[in-house]
Amino acid sequence: MATTDKASPRDRLLDAAAMLSYRDGVSIGVEALCRAAGVSKRSMYQLFDSKDEMLAASLERGLPRYEAQLLPGDEDAGTPRERILGVFALLEKASAQADYHGCPYLAALVELKDPEHPASVVAAAAKERLKSFFRTQGRQGGAADPELLARQLLLVFDGASARAGAHVETLDDGLTTVTAGALLDAAGMQ
């Protein structure tokens, strides 16, 4: 892992947690996290009450970057349909990377299985924000039922990212964009 000597121990721990949990899963041990960050366990527990708290902080810290890579900005032009399909095109592009392991927020939810876990709370909020984006675009694009459309799109997004992250499906053939487009057509979006 590339860390700089100038990064604080907290930042190094959060970076290590993000990298290792994405690559290896959230069950990574404290020893491995501290070793990767170059921080002692004692220092880690002075900065965070628990590994769970550190994992939640790492997911929270990564959310703006994740959303910036995935969602169009407010200033980005395009119809609501184009904005939704753009999310799926970006998912397809990201999934083609050798180090793609799926959506980190979905992975945390699936692995932890505890909706009260601090990292699950952050991950669920991240997924809700994506659903809210889909719902808003659906409403603006004239979808018959924007809430249902948002749920369907999130289901396609999560399913596609999980299958691509597990390397059992490739998305580089436009599969998710075509699927999302069919949902948009069925919802009456132009």
Q: How far apart are CA 163 and CA 102, in angstroms?
A: 8
Tokens 């004239």 -> residue: 142
Spell out the per-residue pLDDT of the chain, length 190, in tens. 444 457 899 999 999 999 999 999 999 999 999 999 999 999 999 999 999 999 999 999 999 999 999 998 777 779 999 999 999 999 999 999 999 999 999 999 999 999 999 999 999 999 999 999 999 999 999 999 999 999 999 999 999 999 999 999 989 899 999 999 999 999 999 7
Residues 66 and 36 in one domain: no
The CATH number covering residue 94 comes to: 1.10.357.10
Domain of residue 21: give its range: 1-48
Write the burial class of residue 42 (CB in 10 Å: 0-12 exposed, 13-18 middle, 19+ buried).
Answer: exposed
Residues 158 and 76 in one domain: yes
Residues 74 and 165 in one domain: yes
Q: How far apart are CA 112 and CA 122, in angstroms?
A: 12
Q: What is the reported pTM?
A: 0.91
Residues 39 and 75 in one domain: no
Residues 140 and 91 in one domain: yes
The structural domain count of the chain equals 2
Pair 159, 95: CB distance under 8 Å = no
**What value, to the nearest 5°, has the Cα angle with vertex 164 and ends 15 and 74?**
65
